[in-house]
Amino acid sequence: MTNQTIEKPPSIPSRPSGIKTVLAYTGIPPSWLDKRPKLPSRNWLIFLSVTSSVVGLYIYDRRECKNIRQSYIDRVKHLAEVPIDPFEAPRRVTVYGAKWPADEDYDQSIKYFRKYVKPILVAAAVDYEMIPGKRHGDIAKRVAEDVRIRRRLAVGLDQDHEAKKILPTYKPLAEREKRDLEGGVIIIGRPTLKEYMAGLRKGWMRGLEKIDADEELSRVLENDTYFDEPDEPEDFGEDASPDSRQAPLSPQSSPPTFRLPPLPPLLLVPFTNYIGISQIPLMIWGFFNQRNKVRAGAESAYRLVMSNTRPIEVPETLTDTVSPTDDTSGEAHAPAQGDLDFNKEVEGYYKKSLDKFPEDVEKIRQKYYEALPAKLATARELARGSREPTKQELENPPPTEVELRAERLKKERRWRDDVEGWDIIKPSSNVAWDERFRSALRVFVDHEDESDAGPSETS
């Protein structure tokens, strides 16, 4: 018998499922439909794990931020439903935010207020006025000027404008002061506290007369010889006294002895601004822990809304500067100063280069004065017609002597203000204090039912 090959019958192709049949008509390649799922590779597993963890941390943190903020809004929103008279203004607070050292963005503290404190105040129908400090010392000058104006109105030296008195919303000075006491002052960060207290002490210790800073500085600058006519070019400006450039703008007046009236209570809001490459890990940590800032801002706003205050706590003996000790660590220490030590730990995050800030300003000043004689000589030669202007001078006229004087006054004003402002907020300077503040200042504190405030974080 011959071997006969038995052929197998052709296999019947499996009938595709309904979903495959439908997807086949959509243009999807059949190989994609027949592909079996499998575990990702090692690299994909690492990528997916890291990505999902980062996204999970971000989503969890922002969800907690929303819950914390909403919990405090629910606790104060009933205050916004209280009806008031049409001509009665709501409760109003003043927000001060000083420039953070070495940060070109001067309104970081105001941004912190808007993001973390403002939502609770808006929910409670509390009005606010924001006053940012663009340069060091701006808050101190603003507060001192406001105190001076208030004192002049109180003693009758100045009067409100007649156009203001005819308005239906006009309130006399006594009612405005009462409204200020019911409102309060919000202090964002330690630099703001130092500037505010310095301005407060300056405003209550100085006289009531208005001082034109530019005019007074001009009188001080008249003592040097930078713009005098030189007998010999090589002797130009050598008789200028460095002490005249550093002379104070106004003499210190003797402190008054009267008792201060009650001042608006203070809400101290902690604030830290991380700057520099060395603080990048702290920035990353803060990005994924925004809920801590939301909770701190909401708790601060809730203290103000509930209006629970106490007298400011300051020890009897204070010093103006931090004096170093003789310990081996070499660190500077100072006695505890109560509420004046608010947020003091953030001064450790200042850039170390700021320790030489006055020296850097002095170098810039010296460089300017070294180039000034040549500019002044050119301006006088062209003004007197001693020589013809060059082609470059015709295309770009050099500054005249009048413009050089104005430029010098503006620069000196800025240099002095910067150094004076830094002297206020530098870590080696304590918060300005006057014993009369002890009975006039109060601080917002936690409400009695603060123990059950806010939801607890879940892990």
Q: What is the pLDDT of residue 442?
A: 94
Tokens 């701006």 sit at which residue?
138
Look at residue 190 in the predicted model and tell me its pLDDT. Answer: 95
pLDDT of 161 reads 84
Tokens of 447: 């409400």
Rounded to whole angstroms, the Cα distance separating 147 from 205 reads 10
Question: What contacts 453, CB < 8 A, 6 or more positions away?
Answer: 72, 75, 299, 302, 447
Position 318 scores a pLDDT of 66
The residue whose two tokens read 């500054």 is 399
For the chain, the distance separating the N- and C-terminal CA atoms, rounded to the nearest angstrom, is 82
Q: Which residues partner with 185 through β-bridges?
A: 94, 266
Contacts of 242 (CB under 8 A, 6+ apart): none
- The pLDDT of residue 319: 56
**Closest Cα to residue 425, out of 190, 141, 202?**
190
Residue 269 three-state SS: strand
With a cut of 70, list the residues of the chain below it in pLDDT. Answer: 1-5, 12-17, 230-257, 318-335, 448-459
pLDDT at 4: 62
Which parts of 105-178 are beta strand (E)? Answer: 127-132
pLDDT tens digits for 348-384? Answer: 999 988 989 999 999 999 999 999 999 998 998 888 8
> Which amino acid type is present at position 424?
I
The pTM of this model reads 0.82
Q: What is the pLDDT of residue 77?
A: 92
